[in-house]
């Protein structure tokens, strides 16, 4: 899919398992009409944004309390409690700022792009309501500058809201360099302050002093759309789907060896196998799935009955992440696929600290040698040692994600590792790549 010109592929209806709630929420309008919602459509379906809730009126429940009661967590990858971030900014002195993170720099993800394509005003409602709740006068919406069609569409949505005089806060749209780490929250703050779109590793944190040295709330686009629905329908409604510990729905981008790849809205707690079935099912026997994206985890097929929750996946060293599920066919080589991803991640490091400048490229080189079947008795011990040195040492979490991917590949494809080291690369390693990976070239600009 050309992300700068085409609408993302349509989401697919989620087939219910016994006792499972599957009602479309974020994508309800799309399921009903199969067309993007302009402001008229949006207001007809959802009504006016409940401004009183955001401003702290006691009836209905104030927004921060409602979000906390709902149990909403961030849908950008980290899964941090949304209400905690709202409260941290609201409690700071001075006029705050809100940043909508719609960068979606994960190459295997299309969920935020799709959501903004079909329901832009739901995201913008959530951003405005969050701004009112934390005392912000400006909302910055950050998109990658490579997605020109999306930028035009969102500009039109902002124009609709201005003409309707819908919002009491200012909304500004920005196009940023599209690098893997440019979606990190401190990268957005740094760019909005006139710097490069690279992570800022040192304090202060954004909620303390972010954009223009003001307390700054950075939220993922999907997270803010959920905020808009919680403000309208309340926390009890939000908890009617998902699990008691992890309520709500999650947008998931399914790709790879499935019949109908696309974006789905699923209840948290849905088994991974069910999500694949909702994408038409595997087109051939699978070797593994990549969960969470390029900074995620390879899981062998024996774990496909695992529910999509952080709690259930934690024991496997995995997490829902940004909602990515890539099905890898048995006929593919997981080591060569991983080597290509690691080469891309190494090229897109910010090069501000040792793990990105030296460690990640070294791991990528070692993995390339392993994928190519180069006999070297020191290769595997060296690779394990270098992977272990990456986490918790960088200015951001980029090296941590790469280490997680590499370590999971060595585990999930252990039989292939043995063959590649003792008998050379497998036949599958010489076949065309199955996972689309952008070229492993450093970003042309960070500004």
Sequential DSSP letters for 210-265:
-GGGS-EEEEEHHHHHHHHHHHHH-HHHHTTSB-SSSBSEEEEEEEESBSS-EEEE
How confident is the model at residue 9, as a pLDDT? 38
- State yes or no: pLDDT of 23 exceeds 60: no
Q: Which domain holds residue 43?
A: 28-238
Percentage helix, strand, coil, to 5, in the chain? 45, 15, 45
How confident is the model at residue 233, as a pLDDT? 95
Instruction: Let me know whether 53 and 176 are in one domain.
Output: yes
Instruction: Let me know whether 230 and 281 are in one domain.
Output: no
Domain end point (choices 218, 238, 258): 238
- Are residues 230 and 66 in contact, defined by beta-carbon separation less than 8 angstroms? yes
How far apart CA 427 and CA 405 sit, in angstroms, is 23
Instruction: Let me know whether 261 and 142 are in one domain.
Output: no
Please name which of 400, 389, 338 lies closest in space to residue 362, comparing C-alpha atoms.
389
- State yes or no: pLDDT of 21 exceeds 70: no
Instruction: Let me know whether 165 and 92 are in one domain.
Output: yes
Instruction: Let me know whether 262 and 139 are in one domain.
Output: no
* Residue 8, domain member (yes or no): no
Instruction: Let me know whether 37 and 138 are in one domain.
Output: yes
pLDDT band, very low/low/confident/very high, at 78 (cuts 50, 70, 90): confident
* Residue 1, domain member (yes or no): no
- State yes or no: pLDDT of 412 exceeds 80: yes
How confident is the model at residue 17, as a pLDDT? 36
Percent of the chain with pLDDT over 70: 94
The mean pLDDT of 337-358, rounded to a whole number, is: 94
Domain end point (choices 207, 238, 269): 238
- State yes or no: pLDDT of 5 exceeds 60: no
How confident is the model at residue 7, as a pLDDT? 33
- State yes or no: pLDDT of 125 exceeds 50: yes
- State yes or no: pLDDT of 308 exceeds 60: yes
Q: Share the mean pLDDT of the chain.
A: 92
* Residue 447, domain member (yes or no): no
- Are residues 334 and 328 in contact, defined by beta-carbon separation less than 8 angstroms? yes
- State yes or no: pLDDT of 3 exceeds 70: no
pLDDT band, very low/low/confident/very high, at 15 (cuts 50, 70, 90): very low
Percent of the chain with pLDDT over 90: 85
In tens, the pLDDT along 388-404 reads: 999 988 878 899 999 99
Instruction: Let me know whether 223 and 314 are in one domain.
Output: no
Structural domains counted in the chain: 3
* Residue 436, domain member (yes or no): no
Rounded alpha-carbon distances, angstroms, from residue 30 to 10, 14, 27, 211, 367? 9, 14, 5, 34, 42
Instruction: Let me know whether 182 and 65 are in one domain.
Output: yes
* Residue 3, domain member (yes or no): no
The mean pLDDT of 271-284, rounded to a whole number, is: 97
In tens, the pLDDT along 131-173 reads: 999 999 999 999 999 999 999 999 999 999 999 999 999 999 9
pLDDT band, very low/low/confident/very high, at 424 (cuts 50, 70, 90): very high
How far apart CA 279 and CA 127 sit, in angstroms, is 30
The mean pLDDT of 204-209, rounded to a whole number, is: 89
Domain end point (choices 329, 358, 376): 329
- State yes or no: pLDDT of 243 exceeds 70: yes
- The CATH number for 340's domain is 1.20.1440.230
* Residue 275, domain member (yes or no): yes
DSSP three-state, residue 357? helix
The mean pLDDT of 176-183, rounded to a whole number, is: 95
- The CATH number for 129's domain is 3.40.50.11540
Helices 414-422 and 398-412, axial angle in degrees (round to 10): 80
How confident is the model at residue 203, as a pLDDT? 77
- The CATH number for 299's domain is 3.10.20.600
The number of angstroms, rounded, from the C-alpha of 368 to the middle of its chain's C-alpha atoms is 26
How confident is the model at residue 56, as a pLDDT? 79
The mean pLDDT of 67-81, rounded to a whole number, is: 94
- State yes or no: pLDDT of 57 exceeds 80: no
Instruction: Let me know whether 313 and 342 are in one domain.
Output: no
- In SS3 terms, 25-91 reads as CCCHHHHHHCCCCCHHHHHHHHCCCCHHHHCCCCCCCCHHHHHHHHCCECCCCCCCEHHHHHHHHHC
Instruction: Let me know whether 93 and 173 are in one domain.
Output: yes
* Residue 125, domain member (yes or no): yes
């Amino acid at each position: 899919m050309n992300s700068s010109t085409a609408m993302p592929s349509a989401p697919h209806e989620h087939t219910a398992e016994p006792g499972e709630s599957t009602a479309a929420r974020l994508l309800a309008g799309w399921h009903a009409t199969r067309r993007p919602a302009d402001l008229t459509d949006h207001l007809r379906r959802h009504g006016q944004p409940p401004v009183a809730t955001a401003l702290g009126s006691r009836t209905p429940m104030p927004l921060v309390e409602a979000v906390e009661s709902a149990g909403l967590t961030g849908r950008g990858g980290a899964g941090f409690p949304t209400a905690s971030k709202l409260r941290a900014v609201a409690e700071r002195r001075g006029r705050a700022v809100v940043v909508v993170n719609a960068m979606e720099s994960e190459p295997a993800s299309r969920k935020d792009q799709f959501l903004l394509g079909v329901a832009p005003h739901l995201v913008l409602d959530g951003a405005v309501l969050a701004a009112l709740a934390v005392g912000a006068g400006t909302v910055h919406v950050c998109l990658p500058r490579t997605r020109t069609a999306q930028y035009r569409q969102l500009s039109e949505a902002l124009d609709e809201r201005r003409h309707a005089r819908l919002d009491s806060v200012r909304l500004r749209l920005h196009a940023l360099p599209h690098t893997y780490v440019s979606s990190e929250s401190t990268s957005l703050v740094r760019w909005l302050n006139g710097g490069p779109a690279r992570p800022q590793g040192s304090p202060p944190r954004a909620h303390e002093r972010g954009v223009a040295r003001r307390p700054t709330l950075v939220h993922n686009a999907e997270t803010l759309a959920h905020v808009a629905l919680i403000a309208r329908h309340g926390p009890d409604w939000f908890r009617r789907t998902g699990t008691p510990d992890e309520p709500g729905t999650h947008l998931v981008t399914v790709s790879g060896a499935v019949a109908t790849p696309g974006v789905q809205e699923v209840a948290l707690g849905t088994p991974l196998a069910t999500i694949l079935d909702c994408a038409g099912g595997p087109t051939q026997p699978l070797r593994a799935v990549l969960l969470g994206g390029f900074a995620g985890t390879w899981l062998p097929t024996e774990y496909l009955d695992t529910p999509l929750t952080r709690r259930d996946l934690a024991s496997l060293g995995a997490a829902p992440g940004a909602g990515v599920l890539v099905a890898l066919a048995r006929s593919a080589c997981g080591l060569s696929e991983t080597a290509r991803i690691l080469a891309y991640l190494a090229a897109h490091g910010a090069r501000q600290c040792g793990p990105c400048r030296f460690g990640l490229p070294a791991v990528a080189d070692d993995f390339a040698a392993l994928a190519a079947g180069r006999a070297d008795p020191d290769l595997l011990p060296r690779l394990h040692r270098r992977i272990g040195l990456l986490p918790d040492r960088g200015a951001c979490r980029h090296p941590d994600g790469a280490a997680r991917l590499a370590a999971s590949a060595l585990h999930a494809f252990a039989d292939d590792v043995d063959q590649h080291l003792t008998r050379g690369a497998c036949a599958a390693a010489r076949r065309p790549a199955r996972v689309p990976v952008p070229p492993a070239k450093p970003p042309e600009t960070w500004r």
